[in-house]
Amino acid sequence: MGQDIDQLAINTIRTLSIDAVEKANSGHPGTPMSMAPVAYELWQNHLRYDPADPIWPNRDRFVLSAGHASMLLYSMLHLAGVKRVDDDYNVLDEPAVSLHEIERFRQLHSRTPGHPEYRWTTGVETTTGPLGQGVGTSVGMAMASKWQGERFGSELFDFDVYALAGDGCLMEGISHEAASLAGHLKLDNLCWMYDNNHITIDGDTSLAYGDDALTRFEAYGWNVLRVGDANDAGLLARAFEAFKAETGRPTLIVIDSHIGWGSPNKQDTESAHGEPLGEEEVRLTKKAYGWPEDAQFLVPDGVRQRFDEVIGVRGAELSAAWKQKLDGSGHAAEIEMMQHRELPDGWDSAIPSFEADEEKGLATRKASNKVENAIAEKVPWLLAGSADLTDSTSVRLNFDGAVNFEPGSFDGRQIHFGIREHAAAAACSGLSLSKLKPLWSTYLTFSDYARPAIRLSALMELPVIHLFTHDSIGLGEDGPTHQPVEQLAGLRAVPALDVIRPADANETAEAWRVAVGRTHDPVALVLTRQTVPIFDRSRYASAEGLRKGGYVLADCEGEPELILIATGSEVQLALGAHETLIGEGIRSRVVSLPCWEIFERQDAAYRDQVLPPAVTARVAIEEASTLGWERWVGTEGAIIGMTTFGQSAPFADVEAEFGFTPEHVAEVAREVAKGATVNSSTT
Ligand SMILES: Cc1ncc(C[n+]2csc(CCOP(=O)(O)OP(=O)(O)O)c2C)c(N)n1
Ligand SMILES: [Mg+2]
């Protein structure tokens, strides 16, 4: 076609994207068209990436934060010949994205879903689509590179992280948190490429956006570069070289571009963003590219070979040299273990068991701290962070060597995320994607500030620990702004996220065992601020029951006629009421149900043993929204929960105000046992 091979390759990225969107009759052609030269220059000439081993641990990461431009990434994965990796980490002799899959863009079960999904399509480094999440996650990846570089040596780990962001990513609040954190941490291995095309869905950005991005990022302490034309490979190359040479600052490259580049009627318009170009415009655009107008999904001769010769050859050399270094490093076993998300032998051997103490008790956040330290000391890659509530949420590591993660000690274990919940959660996804074991913490109410990133950790099936304390109105004086009500229901509604709310210190130890032991799926650990009794397990059932999500904690002689179900700090209320009711001759049972999701995964026989279907007199007690408890108490049961916000007062007064006393629980239970219909909540 008379174009030089690199231009031909760039136009192939463009036309594959155009054709895939056209065939699907849905998708976003404009940004792949304009950003094709940027992706091409980066991948071919800078990215240290081996298409034949896409899980090589020290590969540079390419994050498509503008996830709607997914066809850009799929085209790159296809043309670069990236191999597919199966769930057991085996590289297969088949493409991650075949041409057939590109033709099936956005169709059911294709490897080319609407937005890139980690774990589903090899080569997708993180799931993106909700704008800003990619840049947030990229910070965690850059942190992980620094951590591993410090621990294992920079000859083994020094990978760079590139994220392609649009106007939307930069407008989203998370980009502020993430950029501010990255600047503070001096993450000079992080490069964001800002596609400055002045177009979003509604039209020109002047409708809603007038930031001076250059000044903004300079103020964060970033190195800011500008490329005035996305089609200028020379300028792009210089910018990438400048990024690589920079020390002590992350880099933002502002790249001026024209969305829908080459489309005679749609370039620079919002209609190029999220709709197929249309048959006629496709022809005109292909003509403008010097492309055969009728050809579809055309990959001209020489294009795949060009990728093989450049990124393919460079990547193979780099990954082979790395593997040699690894073999001689003495770190191979540990790195291998991390890569497979395995844990060192004996990781759980120091988990304490807590003596019964029903008088003084212990807050579950305090018990959690002891367990966390006992595990973290044995799992070197467990990192504990907090959004400025390190001691309030009790996540401080206190053993020798557990220093802060910061410039100068990037192998530190304690992360100070600052008051940046959203970026903290997103960065934890980045750490986890890089095979570290992260946890971060805040108060349960403020989990709302991180919710989109929590959701993505679940969608990606990443074993992140989201740790939340001050988990109910029981936090007392701080009042309704800080007292969570609807957060538990909200978190429980997230698929693949297990929400664990332990009742006492020993259940807390079990909850940690579950959380750290898993290789997939996040956990939300939900803990109290206030002290709760440590139950006498010689009298009640073992806390090991938590491993099944729910268990019979206290029982009666014979078949129960009434079941009290509770979680966390309310289990003590259930037990208190239970003792009274047993004394009155009512055959009551207490079920501790710290994790609904795990309980639901047990077989029916076990679930029916704990909650016999014939026993319909049931009372649930939880200091949270009643939403969802109908599932456990049925139509004849009662729910003692919250239907309003809380109150600011000392905790005992707040609990009494809302009916969270053993006496009130017993009162409701007597009525339910009699078969009376009881109003479903206390307020
Ligand atoms: C959090 C979030 N809000 C809204 C959207 C819907 N959305 C998808 S793309 C887009 C516009 C993005 O504009 P820009 O980032 O400039 O991308 P461009 O069109 O230039 O590629 C919007 C609002 C989204 N994906 N995520
Ligand atoms: Mg834009």
Confidence at residue 675, expressed as pLDDT on a 0 to 100 scale: 87
Confidence at residue 150, expressed as pLDDT on a 0 to 100 scale: 98
Given the CA of residue 259, which atom of ligand 1 is nearest to it? 20
Task: Evaluate: CB of 134 within 6 angstroms of ligand 1.
Answer: no
- Once rounded to an integer, what is the mean pLDDT over residues 442-460? 98
pLDDT in tens, 360-374: 999 999 999 999 999
Task: Evaluate: CB of 374 within 6 angstroms of ligand 1.
Answer: no
Strands (E), 102-208: 161-165, 190-196, 199-200, 203-204
State the DSSP code for 378: T
Both tokens assigned to 397: 């590591």
Residue 680 has pLDDT above 60, yes or no: no
CB 476 within 8 A of CB 422: no
Both tokens assigned to 339: 């890569």
β-bridge pairing 531-534 and 562-566:
unpaired
Task: Evaluate: CB of 272 within 6 angstroms of ligand 1.
Answer: no
Task: Evaluate: CB of 422 within 6 angstroms of ligand 1.
Answer: no
Task: Report phi then psi at 84, rounded to 5.
Answer: -85, 145
| Cα 411 versus chain centre, distance | 22
Both tokens assigned to 7: 């231009």
Task: Evaluate: CB of 32 within 6 angstroms of ligand 1.
Answer: no
| Cα 134 versus chain centre, distance | 11
Residue 1 has pLDDT above 80, yes or no: no
pLDDT in tens, 226-261: 999 999 999 999 999 999 999 999 999 999 999 999
Q: Among 72, 172, 270, 273, say which to mutate for ligand 1: greatest number of ligand atoms within 8 Å of CB.
A: 273
Task: Evaluate: CB of 96 within 6 angstroms of ligand 1.
Answer: no
pLDDT in tens, 95-105: 999 999 999 99
- Once rounded to an integer, what is the mean pLDDT over residues 107-126? 98
State the DSSP code for 480: T
Confidence at residue 568, expressed as pLDDT on a 0 to 100 scale: 98
Residue 286 has pLDDT above 90, yes or no: yes
Helices 364-376, 505-517: axis angle to 10 degrees equals 40
Confidence at residue 102, expressed as pLDDT on a 0 to 100 scale: 98
Confidence at residue 2, expressed as pLDDT on a 0 to 100 scale: 81
Residue nearest to atom 25 of ligand 1 (CA): 130
Q: Among 195, 200, 254, say which to mutate for ligand 1: greatest number of ligand atoms within 8 Å of CB.
A: 200
pLDDT in tens, 403-413: 999 999 999 99
Confidence at residue 14, expressed as pLDDT on a 0 to 100 scale: 98
Rounded percentage of the chain residues whose pLDDT exceeds 90: 98
Confidence at residue 681, expressed as pLDDT on a 0 to 100 scale: 59
pLDDT in tens, 459-487: 999 999 999 999 999 999 999 999 999 99
Would you name the residues annotated as active-site residues?
Answer: 421
One-letter identity of residue 169: C
Residue nearest to atom 26 of ligand 1 (CA): 130
CA of 289 to the centre of ligand 2 (A): 22
- Mean predicted lDDT score pLDDT of the chain: 97
Confidence at residue 427, expressed as pLDDT on a 0 to 100 scale: 99
Q: Among 34, 70, 131, say which to mutate for ligand 1: greatest number of ligand atoms within 8 Å of CB.
A: 131
Confidence at residue 683, expressed as pLDDT on a 0 to 100 scale: 39
Rounded distance, CA 149 to CA 43, Å? 23
Residue 290 has pLDDT above 80, yes or no: yes
- Once rounded to an integer, what is the mean pLDDT over residues 350-365? 98
Task: Evaluate: CB of 201 within 6 angstroms of ligand 1.
Answer: yes
Give the ligand at the shortest distance from the Cα of 198.
2
CA of 123 to the centre of ligand 2 (A): 24
Give the ligand at the shortest distance from the Cα of 168.
1
Task: Evaluate: CB of 588 within 6 angstroms of ligand 1.
Answer: no
Which of 540, 565, 569 shows the shortest CA–CA distance to 554? 540
Rounded distance, CA 469 to CA 457, Å? 19
CA of 132 to the centre of ligand 2 (A): 13
